[in-house]
């Protein structure tokens, strides 16, 4: 994994919430004091953040947890690990080594991604009435990149930085919607525990494409997977997803005769 579940969730809250909001304050404190919080009770946690007990409980619910106890348990199993890629003494040498890692990861995409599936996805992009693209943190960069390119090609695509808003959109989407999920590790849906499309027949579900470096099994509501070989480390993220997004829009432009 590139990073654990909780850092991703906390950073997503900070990125999407209004600065100074209760959830943003709590998430910021947790990221800055992860070791300390492991030994705090909910009352002390609330005091440290200058919020009420109810605010801490609501925060836990908002990020998909049962309660503060589950939050503390996840904190105990979460590790922060930044990867370095060079032991070169000079800055130029370290830069060269990092460049090699990025180039290698991009080449893995162009050499292993399915051209046939890209063409199929482009057909869906022309067919479906509503199109959205989502991702978490670095992966959302690829979604925004995709959105910008598609706008230049005359096709509007919806996206939103907030994971909560992304999930709401997906759960309310119907069969006329096409949704692209950019997820480097393929773990996008693991951050949400509630069942999707409960009680709705499959024919009413949106069509969901997962663009991912993990070649594995996915939830049943993922219709198609556009995957590629990946080092699954920080050197490939988000560069591999950005490359995949670019390949999709380039193919879309070619098939539409855009010069």
What pLDDT score was predicted for residue 144? 95
Kindly state the tokens that stand for 37.
Answer: 């919080």
Which two structure tokens, joined as six digits, stand for 195? 């069942």
**17 near 23, Cβ under 8 Å?**
yes
pLDDT at 86 over 50: yes
**Is residue 1 scored above 60 in pLDDT?**
no
165 token code pair: 């808003």
If pLDDT is split at 50, 70 and 90, which confidence band does 164 have? confident
Task: For residue 115, give Cα distances in angstroms to 63, 209, 234, 238, 255.
Answer: 37, 15, 25, 20, 13
pLDDT value for 2: 39
Residues 196-251: tens digit of each pLDDT:
887 889 899 999 999 999 878 888 899 999 999 999 888 889 999 999 999 999 99
- DSSP 8-state code for residue 158: B
Is the predicted pLDDT of residue 54 greater than 60, yes or no? Answer: yes
Q: Answer whether 172's CB lies under 8 Å from 194's CB.
A: no
Judged against a pLDDT cut of 90, whether residue 65 lies above it is answered with: no
Are 116 and 215 a contacting pair, CB within 8 Å?
no
Instruction: Give pLDDT, residue 252.
Output: 96
- Whole-number pLDDT of residue 162: 84
pTM: 0.78
Strands 130-135 and 177-183: what pairing? parallel
55 pLDDT higher than 80: yes
Query: SS3 letters for 41-70?
Result: CHHHHHHHHCCCHHHHHHHHHHCCCCCHHH
Span 161-189, mean pLDDT? Answer: 91
Better-predicted residue by pLDDT, 4 or 109: 109
Per DSSP bridges, beta strands 130-135 and 207-212 are: unpaired
| pLDDT classification of 91: cutoffs 50, 70, 90 | confident
């Amino acid at each position: 994994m590139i990073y654990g579940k909780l850092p991703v969730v906390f950073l997503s809250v900070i990125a999407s919430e209004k600065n100074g909001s209760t959830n943003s304050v709590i998430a910021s404190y947790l990221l800055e004091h992860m070791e300390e919080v492991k030994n705090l009770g909910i009352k002390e946690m609330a005091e440290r953040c200058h919020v009420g007990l109810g605010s801490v409980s609501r925060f836990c619910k908002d990020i998909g947890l049962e309660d503060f106890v589950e939050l503390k348990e996840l904190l105990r199993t979460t590790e922060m690990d930044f990867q370095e890629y060079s032991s070169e003494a000079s800055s130029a040498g370290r830069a060269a080594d990092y460049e090699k890692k990025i180039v290698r990861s991009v080449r893995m995409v162009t050499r292993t991604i399915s051209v046939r599936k890209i063409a199929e996805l482009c057909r869906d992009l022309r067919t479906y009435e509503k199109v959205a693209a989502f991702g978490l943190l670095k992966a959302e960069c690829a979604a925004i990149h995709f959105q910008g390119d598609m706008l230049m090609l005359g096709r509007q695509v919806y996206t939103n930085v907030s994971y909560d808003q992304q999930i709401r959109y997906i759960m309310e989407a119907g069969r006329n919607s096409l949704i692209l999920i950019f997820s480097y590790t393929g773990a996008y849906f693991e951050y949400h525990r509630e069942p999707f499309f409960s009680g709705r027949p499959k024919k009413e579900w949106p069509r969901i494409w997962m663009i991912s470096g993990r070649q594995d099994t996915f939830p049943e509501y993922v219709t198609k997977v556009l995957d590629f070989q990946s080092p699954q480390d920080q050197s490939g993220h988000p560069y591999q997803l950005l490359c995949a997004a670019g390949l999709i829009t380039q193919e879309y432009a070619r098939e539409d005769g855009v010069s």
